[in-house]
Chains A and B, each alone.
Chain A
Amino acid sequence: MLQTKKISSVELTQTFLSRIAQHNPNINAYIALDEAKSLAQAKAADALIAAGKAEPLTGIPIAQKDIFCAEGWPTTCGSKMLANFVAPYDAHVITQFDAVGAVNLGKTNMDEFAMGSSNETSYFGGVKNPWDAERVPGGSSGGSAAAVAARLCAAATGTDTGGSIRQPASLCGFTGLKPTYGVVSRYGMIAFASSLDQAGPMAKSAEDCALMMNVMAGFDERDSTSLNRDKEDYTRDLAKPLQGLRVGLPKEFFAEGLDAGVGKVIDEAIAAYKKLGAEIVEISLPNTGLSIPVYYVLAPAEASSNLSRYDGVRYGHRTAEYTDLLDMYCKSRAEGFGAEVKRRILIGTYVLSAGYYDAYYLKAQQIRRLIAQDFVEAFKQCDVIMGPAAPSTAFKAGEKVDDPVAMYLQDIYTISTNLAGLPGMSVPAGFSNGLPVGLQIIGNYFDEARMLNVAHQYQQVTDWHLQMPQGIE
């Protein structure tokens, strides 16, 4: 529409900004907006379009998760610790969007330092699920999720350390992709667990995700874990028929713990794939049950170290009064971090301590390799793996806040792919009791284009991804 000049980027941006003005006070998806900045970008984009220099995302308003540093924008990571922090530089992802003339529509709410599955750990308050205001949008990319679901942006960015793109995509009914570890640069993306964090697109459809991936993915020498590969066109395989596609169903993903309503939706989605010509293969990921304990050793270990820089010395929150250096550290961190972040720093500090390192950290690393090996074996039998993205539909706010383990189980189907470094996505597959359910598609390393094809073909024969919550239009 932009390129056919039916609507200008400025008009489109203004439309979204007025929708945000109307709905955001209720939903709380955005925590930073800057109309002047967004409109200036839109104006610049319109000039590019007029000059015939437009790319697919030129002028498209994108919501940015508040985990990405964006020069001149508040960048809080959902924490009081960084409530006063304005980033002096751009994350690689932000640079990439700027380079194609996309519009930064605002920074979205999130669980504090991306630690949470309901967006309830945010210092800036919870986010409402547009499908049911009493329920959570999932997390940690909850603000981006609600913004996409409520059509408060054209698309959004998210990050996924244990499921933070896919679980909210499932709970809010849109398409979200966590790429292979190393495909999107982590430079300027505030670290939670460095070996697991990966940024990805959150959008209405697989096709939109593919266009987003074309912008976000690519080698960046400022991230040593960024993979130096040729640039890909993620839309290239969208139209391929699925005849002969081998779909692996891990028996462990359909066992105890899966909500019956969710299970039914997934079964129907599998049936739809059969109709599209897919073959179903039963597979096993025997170590998948260990992924949550392994994750809750490794992710906190890395986080405890990554979050040490927030000490009140150079930037961020510093306590008002203190007697000495130690007092300043203790009070600043006690005041600046929320309960979940503190819990994980404590766990991480514990598992790395002398005398415990071998039993926890080292053991977890060994099991991590076993989990990755499970997938290597599985992909000998199938092309993609399918299952639920989350064990249930969106739960009510406050329901799991006091039960961390129940909250951690939200990521039971997503965490193993982060541990293995594999790409995974969630695709809208239907509803259970009026709430969206996401089908998870896991691919082999660097198989994002195929996964997007698999999702796109499904979206050609279903309209789950086009459904909108009531009351937003």
Chain B
Amino acid sequence: MEWEVVIGLETHTQLKTNTKIFSGASTAFGAEPNTQACEVSIALPGVLPVLNREAVNCAIKFGLAVKAEIAPRSVFARKNYFYPDLPKGYQISQYELPVVGKGAVTIQVPAVGKHPAYEKVVNITRAHLEEDAGKSVHGAVEGMSGIDLNRAGTPLLEIVTEPDMRSAAEAVAYAKKLHELVQWIGICDGNMQEGSFRCDVNVSVRKKGSDTLGTRREIKNLNSFKFMQQAIEYETRWQIETLEDGGTIQQATVLFNPDTGETRAMRSKEEANDYRYFPDPDLLPLTISEEDKSRVKAQMPELPEAMKARFEAEFGLTSYDAATLTASRELADFFVQTVHAGAEAKPAANWVMGAVSAKLNAEEKSLADSPVGPSQLANLLKRIADNTISNNAAKQVFEALWNGEGDVDAIIAAKGLKQESDSGAIEVIIDEVLKANPAMIEEFKAGKEKAFNALVGQAMKASKGKANPAQVNEILKKKLS
């Protein structure tokens, strides 16, 4: 029997604001416990929340980026439950009326084996603003659990999709795309280790062709794409096996254990909390005017899709190259800066996607840490374009640049990689080669094309690789005709 997996994601995106969503306390990561917990963060008696408009601007940016409806009026609600890291005994969130409504994200699902890469639209159901909880700290005090409320009140945008994804690869592609997008528009630092971007994945399976959804289980708090892939694959297998063995799936919340690669239920639906949501009487409904939207829109950077189209039109890049370069803001910026520094667009695209990306991947570095910056890369590409060096030599220069051996021209000079483009000098070399290889000339004249290539090779060898190969070809052809 053929099974189909159905996946939807809920992503908690930590918004890049200086202060908390309902108080003036700092949101900086890594401070000593409870040093960023003001009276509102601690939920002292009598304190009240005041909405940070910067968090709202972030939500508007996201709404604009996914072409979503942005609610002119949305409502903050209290989600009531007891937990030591939740100081008020309720979380301020949005429930019935979220700030961002339906939208969509286009994802690129990479090729796997024989299956080619493809594009897919994932629909966004909603995105709502809420506050984060604090953290329990174990082991700091002997025999006790501590509570760190520095994170309590940090603004989050929870982004919820429709159950549109049909494989772990699609889910990961969506998560990566979203991860890039929120960084692209500057609302999230994307730091997954620090918990700035956390995904809950709802997984269910059904028989292929069925249009009803199976019972879902929610994998909580995945903070790496690798774990997400593994968790979904394991969960999918587990659900299919359970059903094939005649079992049923119970709705549940599960956790992924990276050490075992397994998912395990932490609570079933029966044990689930009744959160007793109701509108928070301490906060007025959130209103967003057309002016608010236009003001935020004016501060928005060019979005990836618009930039991709521009790269195709302006630089003549292929759709694939343009999509690859606009997969991240950093990559796109690096490319644009390389072009602005004087490189031609197509070779710049090839080098950024090729040599630069390969090196960074190999050394697990980010573009920001690349030893070769856009201006150096542009200088290198200029030397290829003006025939100073060959493509082969350029690879050696790039290696040297990467290792910090100086600037482009200095390296070319130091390594003697300047190619010979003086036709007179090349003619002298070719004449010598022809004189030394009369047999090859005979073979060429007898119609053996191979002999021509062999002669080019001899000439290049004689020039110690420095002769411009195009010129060698051209002169040799003339001499033999």
Interface residues of A (CB under 8 A from B): 68-69, 75, 77, 82, 85, 87-89, 91, 186-191, 193-195, 221-225, 301-302, 304-305, 307-309, 311, 313-315, 325, 329, 349, 352-354, 357, 361
Contacts and interface: CB of A to CB of B under 8 A. Distances in A.
Nearest to A330: B82
Nearest to A352: B276
B44 A305 contact: no
Interface of B: 39, 42-51, 78, 80, 82, 84, 87-90, 147, 274, 276-278, 281-284
Closest 3 CB pairs of A and B: A308-B89, A352-B276, A195-B281
A352 B89 contact: no
A77 B89 contact: no
A75 B48 CA distance: 17
A326 to B, nearest CB: 8
A69 B46 contact: yes
Contact of B51 (A89, A191, A224, A354): A224
B90 A305 contact: yes
Contact of B48 (A82, A186, A314, A354): A186
27 contacts: A68-B46, A69-B44, A87-B45, A89-B39, A190-B46, A191-B282, A193-B281, A223-B50, A224-B284, A225-B282, A305-B90, A305-B278, A308-B88, A309-B43, A309-B45, A309-B87, A309-B89, A311-B82, A311-B84, A314-B42, A314-B43, A352-B277, A353-B276, A354-B276, A357-B276, A357-B277, A357-B278
Given A305-B78, A349-B276, A224 B45 contact: no
Given A225-B282, A308-B89, A311-B89, A329 B82 contact: yes
Contacts of B43: 309, 314
Nearest to A69: B46
Task: Give the interface SS of chain B, mostly helix, strand, loop or mixed.
Answer: loop
Contacts of A325: 84
Contacts of B284: 224-225
Contacts of B51: 224
Contacts of A313: 84, 87, 147
B276 A89 contact: no
Contact of B283 (A91, A193, A224, A352): A224
A309 B46 CA distance: 11
Contacts of A309: 43, 45, 87-89
B147 A314 contact: yes
A308 B278 contact: no
Nearest to B88: A309
B45 A85 contact: yes
A194 B282 contact: yes
A314 B284 CA distance: 28
Nearest to B42: A314
Contacts of A88: 39, 44
B29 to A, nearest CB: 22
B45 A223 contact: no
**Residue with the highest number of chain A CB atoms closer than 10 Å, among B45, B48, B78, B282:** B45
B281 A352 contact: no
B287 to A, nearest CB: 12
B45 A69 contact: yes
A223 B49 CA distance: 7
Nearest to A326: B82
A308 B80 contact: yes
